[in-house]
A and B are shown apart, each in its own frame.
Chain A
């Protein structure tokens, strides 16, 4: 399967935070022939282990995507909804939402004087029900739904879909799992984590269980290359970003240096990322137990947390190469590493 096919399958799957099962089943099917061990934990995190000697590296990409939860159904069968993760009501108007059952609804708003009045209390979801009774035959309060958008190739190598955050990361991990064979210089545990969008919750328990020596997250990051974007020196198509900082983590200097060295040695283009808002699984991993030196590979992505997140094939391909090369290299010894 090509990376594009993997990405299409994963981004079109249903998986708001808390209901990642469809995504993890897909991933199990994609990697099971190339894993030394596969298991899930109590929260639904999926662990895929590739054996090796020496220290343990945990590589995490989150399966969950932003979505909504049904809070109320009125007598005419209209649904009121609340956000699951950082999603804006403005970006939902006119969008289709899909429930796990396959049921589709569309979002619109009440009559407004001004657009700025638009908030969660003013929007509703129309699932085509005639009344409360017919609505409750297909949905219940507490049901989750996610955006419903097909995967598209805008132009060659430019991909657009919902939930690139972070199925793009998942696709990179799947590709690397299937490329690596033979014993690695260190054990690699690929974690497909749950509930990242609600506060890095899956990665927290996964890292506690696995007790890694090093942590790596693979996630999307924002870019500064769109009209009047906030200042950020990351662009689409210039290679994956090696994270320095976001709101959740200051990446360990030794891990970051190691990542840069491996990229330089293999002529992999990369960018350095300082993200002034938002976090990733590395934030949870690095504070686990006595601390885990951690870094992150970020895939530049436009329009994050919308129905049309855009990534570039160049960045994905080089993210795969970088991760593969990192896992084939011997990581820095613990001596001197902790001295920063």
Chain B
């Protein structure tokens, strides 16, 4: 897979709707890609997308490496249809109310209805209120319909996703759009699966596009239990460098994926990822994470008897907005690194990592 293919896949995944709990469209888009590069693609009981790629190991040497990226994106949900046709809503995942007014949205009702998040115009606000963020409960969605008509199309509990056409910026390397958290991770897994068609591997590989991460790692909890992998690597996004943010808390775009270090991760597996990156001249950065990584890795690590787990994160700016921005080269080096790690994984290497 070349860079242009990967960009195309990420643009498609970014523009597809898939808020937590309503990921079907995004899953469908990812499914068609995974099925090109893996042996079997299925949905588990929770709805997680599972793509299996068989390894060459004989039955006595079998092991499974899970690579997991969540496919859900943050969004909104209708809580009330008010007189005049204004929709009140709540958040699905960590929504920043400051970024909402002026945003175009689509309500996924009986039919899809487009609208905008409105708020009182500045002219009509007191100087004091003008200086403040509009609180969440004061925001509403205007679809242009009156409440009677809207009631035919929309119900309480319908999901709402953001409308944002993703852009490949002029550099040809940087992409901006919604839901790059974590369609970037999903795209990196697809790229990794494509790389592996040209590599031999012993381990059975299990690519997981997980649901409902943004509301509490829920898909990962059931996927980890169901698949019982021998080891796992979660792929997600981390904060990219911007002015005003401490450089210790942010990662340079284009300098490679960030590899997590800390109690959420299996130290030898994390170091093996770093070692693999060095051997293949793939750039990487190290991200110290003192406790909860806020990723699917947190759920995987404590599933059943415990799973050695690591984390690879794509640096991304403006997280949880509709203008998330990343560098495609970080996806490529991340995907290659995962492929090289997968290709070297076998039972004796796993034994070495476990120290036995």
B-contacting residues of A (Cβ < 8 Å)? 224, 230-233, 244-245, 250, 253, 256, 271-274, 276, 286-287, 289-293, 338-340
B144 contacts chain A at the CB level, 8 A cutoff: no
Instruction: Give the CA-CA distance A244 to B218 in the complex, in Å.
Output: 16
Choose one: A245, A272, A290; the contact of B45 (CB below 8 Å): A290
Pairs of residues from A and B, 4 with the lowest C-beta to C-beta distance, nearest first: A244-B157, A291-B46, A250-B21, A291-B222
Tell whether, in the assembled complex, residue B157 and residue A274 are in contact, meaning their CB atoms are under 8 Å apart: yes
Q: Indicate with 1 or 0, residue by residue over B194-226, a CB within 8 angstroms of chain A CB atoms.
A: 000000000000000000100100100110011
> In the complex, how many angstroms separate the beta carbon of B129 from the nearest chain A beta carbon?
19
Interface centre among B46, B157, B212, B218, by most chain A C-beta atoms within 10 angstroms, is: B157
Q: Indicate with 1 or 0, residue by residue over B103-133, a CB within 8 angstroms of chain A CB atoms.
A: 0000000000000000000000000000000
Tell whether, in the assembled complex, residue A290 and residue B225 are in contact, meaning their CB atoms are under 8 Å apart: yes
Q: Which residues of A contact B218 (CB under 8 A)?
A: 250, 286-287
Q: Determine the residue in chain A with the shortest Cβ distance to B215.
A: A250
Q: Which residues of B contact A224 (CB under 8 A)?
A: 80
Interface of A is mostly: loop
Instruction: Give the CA-CA distance A256 to B22 in the complex, in Å.
Output: 13
Q: Which residues of A contact B327 (CB under 8 A)?
A: none
Contact of A274 with B156 at beta-carbon distance under 8 Å, contacts A232-B79, A287-B221 already known: yes
Q: Which residues of B contact A293 (CB under 8 A)?
A: 45
Instruction: Give the CA-CA distance A250 to B77 in the complex, in Å.
Output: 11
Tell whether, in the assembled complex, residue A340 and residue B157 are in contact, meaning their CB atoms are under 8 Å apart: no
Tell whether, in the assembled complex, residue A338 and residue B157 are in contact, meaning their CB atoms are under 8 Å apart: no
Tell whether, in the assembled complex, residue B156 and residue A233 are in contact, meaning their CB atoms are under 8 Å apart: yes
Contact of A274 with B90 at beta-carbon distance under 8 Å, contacts A233-B81, A245-B77, A250-B21 already known: yes
Contact of A290 with B46 at beta-carbon distance under 8 Å, contacts A244-B77, A250-B212, A276-B79 already known: yes
Contact of A289 with B222 at beta-carbon distance under 8 Å, contacts A338-B45, A338-B47, A339-B24 already known: yes
**Interface band, chain B:** 20 to 34
Report 28 cross-chain contacts, Cβ distance below 8 Å, ordered by A residue.
Answer: A230-B137, A231-B79, A231-B80, A233-B80, A233-B81, A233-B156, A244-B77, A245-B77, A245-B92, A245-B157, A250-B92, A250-B215, A253-B21, A253-B22, A256-B157, A271-B156, A272-B156, A273-B156, A273-B157, A274-B157, A287-B222, A291-B47, A291-B222, A338-B44, A338-B45, A340-B22, A340-B43, A340-B47
Q: Determine the residue in chain A with the shortest Cβ distance to B140.
A: A231
Inter-chain pairs besides A233-B79, A245-B157, A250-B215, 18 sampled, C-beta below 8 Å? A230-B137, A231-B88, A233-B156, A244-B157, A250-B92, A253-B21, A271-B156, A273-B156, A274-B79, A276-B90, A286-B218, A289-B222, A289-B225, A290-B44, A290-B225, A338-B43, A338-B47, A340-B47
Tell whether, in the assembled complex, residue A291 and residue B44 are in contact, meaning their CB atoms are under 8 Å apart: yes
Tell whether, in the assembled complex, residue A272 and residue B155 are in contact, meaning their CB atoms are under 8 Å apart: yes
Q: Which residues of A contact B47 (CB under 8 A)?
A: 291, 338-340
Instruction: Give the CA-CA distance A276 to B80 in the complex, in Å.
Output: 12
> In the complex, how many angstroms separate the beta carbon of B107 from the nearest chain A beta carbon?
13
Instruction: Give the CA-CA distance A253 to B46 in the complex, in Å.
Output: 11
> In the complex, how many angstroms separate the beta carbon of A72 from the nearest chain B beta carbon?
32
Instruction: Give the CA-CA distance A274 to B78 in the complex, in Å.
Output: 8
Instruction: Give the CA-CA distance A232 to B78 in the complex, in Å.
Output: 10
B181 contacts chain A at the CB level, 8 A cutoff: no
Q: Which residues of A contact B44 (CB under 8 A)?
A: 290-291, 338
Instruction: Give the CA-CA distance A286 to B156 in the complex, in Å.
Output: 22
B23 contacts chain A at the CB level, 8 A cutoff: yes
Q: Determine the residue in chain A with the shortest Cβ distance to B90.
A: A276
> In the complex, how many angstroms separate the beta carbon of A289 from the nearest chain B beta carbon?
6
Instruction: Give the CA-CA distance A340 to B218 in the complex, in Å.
Output: 15
B15 contacts chain A at the CB level, 8 A cutoff: no
Instruction: Give the CA-CA distance A315 to B22 in the complex, in Å.
Output: 29
Q: Which residues of A contact B27 (CB under 8 A)?
A: 340
Which residues, 32 to 84 on B, are CB-close (under 8 Å) to A?
A: 43-47, 77-81
Tell whether, in the assembled complex, residue B80 and residue A232 are in contact, meaning their CB atoms are under 8 Å apart: yes
B295 contacts chain A at the CB level, 8 A cutoff: no
> In the complex, how many angstroms separate the beta carbon of B184 from the nearest chain A beta carbon?
23
